[in-house]
Each structure stands twice: as C-alpha cells, then as structure tokens.
Amino acid sequence: MTFSILGFMLVLTVIIVTAALSAMRRESRRARELALLLKEQNELLQLLTDGVKNTAVFLLDSDGRTANWNPGAQRLFGFAQDEITRRSVNCLFPQDDATAGRIESALRTSAADGRHEMNVWMLRKDGSSFHAHMAVVARRSPDRGLAGFAVVVRDMTEMKQAEELLKKLSLSVEQSADIVLITDRDGTVEYVNKAVEDVTGYTRDEVIARGLDLLRSEHGDPKLLGEMWNTVLSGFSFQAEVTIRKKNGEQTVLDEVVTPITDARGNVTHALVTASDVTPLKTMREKLTFLTSYDDLTGLPNRSVFVERLNRDRTRASKGTGTMAILTIDIDRFKYINEIYGLDAGNKMLKQVAESLSVSVSKDDTVARLGSDEFGIILHDIQKPSDVILFVKMIMKNVPQIIMSGGEEISVTLACGISLYPDDGKDANTLMKNADTALGKAKALGRNNYQFYTSDMNVGVTELVFMERRLVDALRNKEYTLTYQPYCYLSSGRIAGTEALLKWKNDEFGLVSPVKFIPMLEETGMIIDVGKWVLQTACAQIKAWDNGKMQLPVSVNLSFSQFRHEFLAETVESVIKEYAIDPRRLTLEVTESTFVKDQESAITILKRLKSIGVSISIDDFGTGYSSLSYLKRFPVDYVKIDQSFVKDVAADPDATSLVSAIINMAHSLSLRTIAEGVETEDQWKILRLLKCDMAQGYYFSRAVTAQEVERLMD
C-alpha cells in the first residue's frame, strides 16, 4: 500500500515536472518570438521614421524641450542630434508664434486631449521657413502622468505648391473664355466651365442634361459626330468648325477640338472638348475677303475688280461690233468738302453719289469706286459718242444737287473723263489712263464738266509732269521771287501794309501762274520749304524797310499744310529772331477753311502764334463755309472780305447787306476789315460808307516790286 502511494506520487511528480518543463519551454519560445517581433517592429518603425523624406519624428519632454531627434528631423530641419537636444521646441517656429505662445497652447491641448494637430510655418536651421503639418501626441508614464510628447512633422511645401497649381489650373479652366467640357467615353458630360453660359446662353445644368447635342452643327454633316467619336476613341484629336444656334436663336461659329484622355494603360476613358467662339474672326475674314474686292463704304467693286472686268469685257467687245466707254468720275471740290464739313459729310456724299451711279447703269455695266472720290463706269454696246453724252448728262442730273449735313447745304457737282474702246486704247491700263487725262481736262474747265479723251491732251499732261520736275530745283536755282500788293486805308488812301505774293519764273516755262504751281507744291509737300523761304524773304524785306525808316507791315499767306505743320510756331519765331524784326510788322494770312476743319486745334495754333507777337488775318472770308459766330473764338486781328462779294457791292443790294453784316460783326469783335478785289471807284465809295477799314485791289495798285512800293510811299 505504502509502495503504491509512493509510486503514485513519484509518477505524479514526474508528470508535474514534465508539464512544468514543457510550459517553461513554451513560455521561453513565446518570449523569444515576442522579442523578435518587437525587434522587427522597432526596426520597421525606425525605417519608417528615418526613411520618409518630408517627415520628422522627435520627442519632447514635459517642458517642451527636445529629448530625441530622428534622422528624418535632421534632414528636414538641418539640426544634428547634439545641436537640438534640450532646446525648446520654440526654436523651430517663427518668433511671432513663439511670442504669442501658440506652441505652448498646442502642447497644453495635446496634454489635455491626448492629441493635437495644426498647420504651421516652421523654421530650418538656415532660417528658411516651410509650411508644415504637425501632430503632437501626449506620452504617459506608467502612473498615467505626463511623460512628454511625440511630435510628427510633415513638410507640406510640395503638397501646397501642388494645391496652388491645381487651384490655378482650375481657375484658368473655369475662367477661360473658351468652352471646356469633359465627357466620359459614352459622351455623357461630367464637367463644363462657365464659358458655356457666356457663349451659348445655356446654363451648365442644361448642357450637362442635353450633352454634346448643344454643340453640334445645326446644318452640318450628320455623320460628323460619329466620325468625331471614332477618331477620339482611336486615341487621336478631332477638330472641326461648326455653326450652332445659341439659346436666344442667334447663330455662332465654334472652333471645336476634342482630345482623348487616357488612363495609365493608355485606354481612352474620357474626352476633353474645347470650343472657341470664332464668329468675330470669321466675320473679319469675310470682311477682309469683301474688302479685297469691294469698297466698304459704298459696297461698289474696287479698282482691282474694275480692271479685271474691263479686261474681261474688252475681250468680249473685241468679238462684237459695239463700242465700249470707260468713264472716270470725280466729285468737284471734294477735298475741301472733307476739310470744311468733316469726314461724315464727305462719306454721306460718296454713298449718295455711288447709289445714284449704280441705279443709272444696266445690269451688264459696271460701277466701281476707284479711289477717294473717284468712280469708274464701264458702259457696253455704245453705238455713237452722243449715247455717252446723254448718259453723262443723265447721271449729273440724277446725282443729288444738294446734300444736307449738320443743317448746312452742300452743293454736289461732278467731273467726268471719257475714253472709248478700241479708239482710245486696246488694254485696260491705257483706257483708264486716257479717261483720267480727260477727267483732268474736265476739272480744269470748271464744275459739272465732261470731256472725251483726245490725243492732244497728253501734251498738256506731259507739260505738267515736266513742270513738277522743274519745281524740285526751283528753290535751289533761286527761281522764286516775291512781289508786294499794297492794301490801303479807305479813309485816306494811304498805304497800310502789303501782301507778299510768290512768283515763279523758269527759263523753260517762263512766268508760271501761281494757280498752276502752288497746288503742285501742296501735293508734293514742297510747300513747307518754299513757305519758309517766303517767310524769310518777307522778314528780310521788313528789316530792310525798317532800316530805311519805312515801318511797313507785310502779310504772308500760310497754306493748309503749313498751318498744320507741327513746327510752324517754332519756324516763325526763329525767322523773326534771325532778322531781328518787330513781330508786329508780320501778319500771317490763313484761309477760313483752315480754321473751320478743326477749330480746337486751330485755336491752339493761333494762340501760340499770337504769343510770338505776330498779327493774324482770315483770308477769303465769306466764301460759303464760314459762320460769323465762330469769329469770337479765334484770336485774330483782320478779316479779309472775299472779292466775290466785293465785286457786286456797288450794284447788288444783297451783296451790300452781306458785306455790311461782315464789317459790323468784325467791328463788334474789335477786328479790322480789309476788302479784297477793289477795282472801281464806286466799290471804294460804298465800302467807305460801310466803314470798311482797308481795301486791296487794282484800284489802288497791282502787286509790285519792293522798290516800287517804296516809290508809292513817297
């Protein structure tokens, strides 16, 4: 029995020891496994904290001082472990944040809540700053007391830049003037920018609901949409110009580009649709195309089309028996109408003349605008010259005789030159040149005239060409001279002053009339240099008379080009100083049309001239364009009454009344009057009774040399 009990206990002891040893082995193995796992986790954590490029992990003690500093923190902040240990975390933040206690507040919040996150600006060792996301976690001791803090800092600079870039891209797309849509591969609209509302008038919701149908061409090829999707789904862009109807019913032209959007594997997942409103551009293209063939103002064919049709019609006419007439037509005095009444009045006149000419021809004939105020007409099947004469008289009658502009009546007359095919030329250039030559002759004969081309006309044209060439050298060759026409006081007949008049004497052409050469000087621009010579010569004469104790004023005419020249005042002032004359001895005469064109600019120029000390005279006053009321605005001294009124002052009561009104108005404005073209004693007497101050004309003296003026003064 005793043995049995001992045996049982021995067996039991063995079992217990064996079990204990087995349990100990299991616990040892588990401990080793746990230690290995912990080591692996620590290594993994270390790899994570050390290897993340833009992330720092460090520990703080309970006072906010650095206790541990991982390699990631060193990379991000630039501080080594020994440089940062035991330093306050405030050194990693801008001074303003540290002073405001923002960091201490974050630590307190973390201690209370266990965790706190914030976006902050932080500082590197070199003083540079970066935008960061910071997470602070409170660390607890075994007794749950505050042991310190674990801090994770992530550099948000790249993310912030990416966000800003994304924001800019988003705003650019949203604010783009072009329509931008994104669809899936089935055509369902997923995004549309605001421009769709501005361009089409439809809201975004309407576009999303109706899809790309809104951007389909109203009258386009129905296969276009299918062709577009086939192209895009194949990975290629598709471009087309389509005309759509906006919500308000208007049509607009869109330049659409559809681009495939692919995923990482190259599969087309979406389509990007951009559409630009090219309606203005298309309209401009059409307008430019029109302008290459037609005149924008009148709608008539231009010169190039006229020449093309003339060549075409000439070929056709050469096969028939009829004659063809080529007409070139100008509006009389059109340049002056533009200058005096303005471009609006000139344009109105051009349109009305164009309309009258167009309704006067048959459908086979051509009317074109060849230049500024020049029109061309091609007439077919002319049997005899008298047919052309009847036509020209008809168009001169059909054109409105009077055009109203700004409450004023403007008379309209035409000049016409005519050449005939084949008698006056076999090609378009010759026919047009000869018609222009005839036009020049018609204009020289006066208003509302027409002329057929004749071969002897070219002689006159050649003479004018040679004359213009000689003018180029006239100043250098000293071919110009000045003569002086006196103007006298009506009360005493005593000479009050003289007007300097330009003469040109050439060995080949003799003494040339100013009517011929002065317009050439104007057109070629030589008038500026010649005008300066006239001013210098006149001032030299004033100086010579002053030295001879004869204080006689001299008037010098200024052309329109001279008056508008930017250095006029400087030129006048320098010449006066050059000859050391009293500026009161010099009077500058300007025709009234020069004043009326741009009154504000004229006033500025006149004030500048008056500041020099010279006198100003309005020449040819009353020639049909003036308004007495504007006189008070201009700083002038003299008004010269045009000879067209003076010649009838002794015989026509209306002329007398008009001259009297001009004199009285001038006197009320403290201006002196000079009557031009006085040739008879009766004119002198009437003007004297009307209290005109001075007069000029053959009754007193023709234009004479300076020496003859001196004799007249004796």
246-261: per-residue pLDDT in tens?
Answer: 888 888 888 888 888 8
Of residues 28 and 164, more confidence is placed in 164
Residue 48 has pLDDT above 90, yes or no: no
Of residues 71 and 321, more confidence is placed in 71
Distance CA 299, CA 72 (A): 79
What integer pLDDT is reported at residue 2 of this predicted model?
46
All residues at 6 or more sequence positions from 587 whose CB lies less than 8 Å from its CB, including other chains = 497, 553, 554, 555, 556, 614, 615, 616, 617, 637, 638
Query: What digits encode the pLDDT tens for the residues 652-676?
Result: 888 899 899 889 989 998 999 999 9
What integer pLDDT is reported at residue 14 of this predicted model?
53
> pLDDT-based confidence at 165, cuts 50/70/90?
confident
What letter represents residue 315's amino acid? T
Q: Which of 613, 616, 496, 612 is nearest to 550 (CA)?
A: 496
Mean pLDDT of 378-383: 88
Contact between 380 and 313 under an 8 Å Cβ cutoff? The reply is: yes
Least confident of 99-113, 458-472, 530-544: 458-472
Of residues 595 and 40, more confidence is placed in 595
What integer pLDDT is reported at residue 442 of this predicted model?
84
Distance CA 23, CA 2 (A): 31
What the block records as the tokens of 200 is 């089409």
Residue 47 has pLDDT above 50, yes or no: no
Distance CA 254, CA 225 (A): 15
**What is the overall mean pLDDT for the chain?**
83
Q: Which domains does the chain have, with CATH numbers?
A: 50-161 (3.30.450.20), 176-283 (3.30.450.20), 293-455 (3.30.70.270), 467-713 (3.20.20.450)
Mean pLDDT of 75-100: 90
Radius of gyration of the chain, Cα coordinates, nearest whole angstrom: 50
